[in-house]
Amino acid sequence: QITLKESGPTLVKPTQTLTLTCTFSGFSLSTGGVGVGWIRQPPGKALEWLALIYWDDDKRYSPSLKSRLTITKDTSKNQVVLTMTNMDPVDTATYYCAHRQLVSGFYWYFDLWGRGTLVTVSS
């Protein structure tokens, strides 16, 4: 059974760096055809994709946030870490990590999501 859980600070100050950890079980990020992504959702608003990392360490970022984001994995700990620099109140959101699965040899989807963690940016 695959599970994912996000953890990190609930409150950060403007200009600070946010570090979020996704701890997962039920799969390994050293296995082919697997990835983990981060998606966020401001209160009452729509979903926004942020970043992806794959089993082969291939990484993808949202171009609008690329300069502020870094995604890494620690396969020994079953963790994926997302850092976001220079936080601003507009970055207040629930941050989700999600398992990305390759199906039929060519298509990727987010089939399982964590419960999310709310991060508030305020002085």
Partner 1 sequence: DIVMTQSPLSLPVTPGEPASISCRSSQSLLHSNGYSYLDWYLQRPGQSPHLLIYLGSKRASGVPDRFSGSGSGTDFTLKISRVEAEDVGVYYCMQVLQIPLTFGGGTKVEIK
Token look-up 């984001």 returns 69
Q: Which of 1, 58, 107, 123 binds partner 1 (CB under 8 A)?
A: 107
Three-state secondary-structure class, residue 89: helix
User: What is the DSSP track for 44-56?
Assistant: TS--EEEEEEETT
Residue count, binding to partner 1 (CB under 8 A): 23
Distance between CA atoms of residues 95 and 44, nearest Å: 13
Distance of CA 103 to the CA centre of its chain: 21
Q: Does 111 bind partner 1 (CB under 8 A)?
A: yes
Site string for partner 1, 36-75 (x = CB under 8 A): -x--------xxxx--x-------x-xxx-----------
C-beta separation of 4 from 24 below 8 A: yes
Q: Does 23 bind partner 1 (CB under 8 A)?
A: no
Q: Does 96 bind partner 1 (CB under 8 A)?
A: yes
Binding site for partner 1 (CB under 8 A): 37, 46-49, 52, 60, 62-64, 96, 103, 106-116
